[in-house]
Structure 1
Amino acid sequence: MFGRFLDKFCKGLRILLGVLMGALAVPVAMQVVSRYTGLIPTFLWTEELATFLFIWIVMIGSVVAVWDGTHFDVRITRDAKGPFARLVQDGVVHVAIMVFGALFLFYGIEYAEFGGKQRSVMMRANLMITHISVPIAGGLWLLLSGYRLFETFTAFRSREGTPS
């Protein structure tokens, strides 16, 4: 049941990613048109807005990638053949993501507070808008990878009980 909730949550994040990608096209198009045609004046805030949107796209995309199992991992050994070796191999990846998630969450809170004391140059927006994405992503990596680790362990336990 919790897995279904997380799956629906990540589907919502995918929709949000699509909206943000569409929104990113607007300031980037304005930058291109103003730079190469001179039809509209150069707006410096468009670059800041594009950066803010891009940061959120990357952080939300990384959360979806952790859920989908498409977040990159480096294999230093061959793919495991047996169930226990597979558990260890996948478990190490999930635990590593959880460690980095915990680090992003822990240090990201201080980073977000630091951003809350600053304003962007052109738009005068509070920089917590982007800085808060770090602890949010870290917390979600921790949660989603923890759930995937639980699933991996549960699958191992169910295979262990069945005769080969």
Structure 2
Amino acid sequence: MVGKTLETFCNGLRVLLGVLMAALAVPVAMQVISRYTGLIPTYLWTEELSTFIFIWIVMIGSMVAVWDGTHFDVRIFADAKTPFLRLVQSGFVHLAILFFALLFAFYGVEYAQFGGNQRSVMMRANLLLTHISVPIAGTVWSVLISYRLWEDLQTYLASRKAAS
């Protein structure tokens, strides 16, 4: 039940990523056309808008990567052969991700408050628009990786049950 809900949530994030990628094409195209053709005037706000959209693409993409297990992972030991060692191996990686996710969630709140007190140069947009992505991402990473840890434990317990 929880897994299906989280999968549905991540599918929604994937759709949102597609929408943001399409939205990113507009200001970037305006920048390219104005810079190289002179057909339209140079709009400086397009650079800020594309940066804002790109920040959200990165943060949402990282949420999906945590769920899919496609985040950066360095294996210094060969894949474990026993269920317990597999639990330790994947559990270590997931706990490390959880640690950093909680750091992002906790300290991201102060970072977002800092952004809330500032405005962008060209668009005069409140920078909370981008800064809030950090604690949101940290919170979502925490939920998703906690579920993956629970799955690891369930897989280990099922393998012990099957062995006995």
Q: Bin the TM-score by the shorter chain.
A: over 0.9
1:47 is aligned to: 47
Identity of aligned residues (%): 70
Within 1, Cα distance between the matches of 2:21 and 2:118? 26
1:6 is aligned to: 6
Task: Give me the CA root mean square deviation.
Answer: 0.8
TM (normalized to structure 1)?
A: 0.98
- Counterpart secondary structure, 2:40: coil
Within 2, Cα distance between the matches of 1:163 and 1:141? 33
Following superposition, the deviation at residue 163 of structure 1 comes to: 2.3
1:56-71 equivalence runs, <5 A: 56-71=56-71
- Counterpart secondary structure, 1:42: coil
Q: Deviations over 1:16-46 (max 9, x none)?
A: 0000000000000000000110110100000
1:1-164 equivalence runs, <5 A: 1-163=1-163
The amino acid of 1:33's aligned partner reads I
Unpaired runs of at least 5, structure 2: none
Within 2, Cα distance between the matches of 1:53 and 1:148? 28
Within 2, Cα distance between the matches of 1:80 and 1:7? 27
Q: Runs ≥4 in structure 1, deviation > 6 angstroms?
A: none
TM (normalized to structure 2)?
A: 0.98
Within 2, Cα distance between the matches of 1:63 and 1:98? 12
Q: Deviations over 1:32-86 (max 9, x none)?
A: 0001101101000000000000000000000000001111111111111211111
Unpaired runs of at least 5, structure 1: none
Within 1, Cα distance between the matches of 2:137 and 2:143? 10
Q: Deviations over 1:93-116 (max 9, x none)?
A: 110110000000010000000000
Within 2, Cα distance between the matches of 1:130 and 1:163? 50
Q: Deviations over 1:134-162 (max 9, x none)?
A: 00000011110000000010011001111
Within 2, Cα distance between the matches of 1:136 and 1:31? 30
Within 2, Cα distance between the matches of 1:54 and 1:79? 35
Within 1, Cα distance between the matches of 2:80 and 2:38? 58
Q: How many residues align?
A: 164
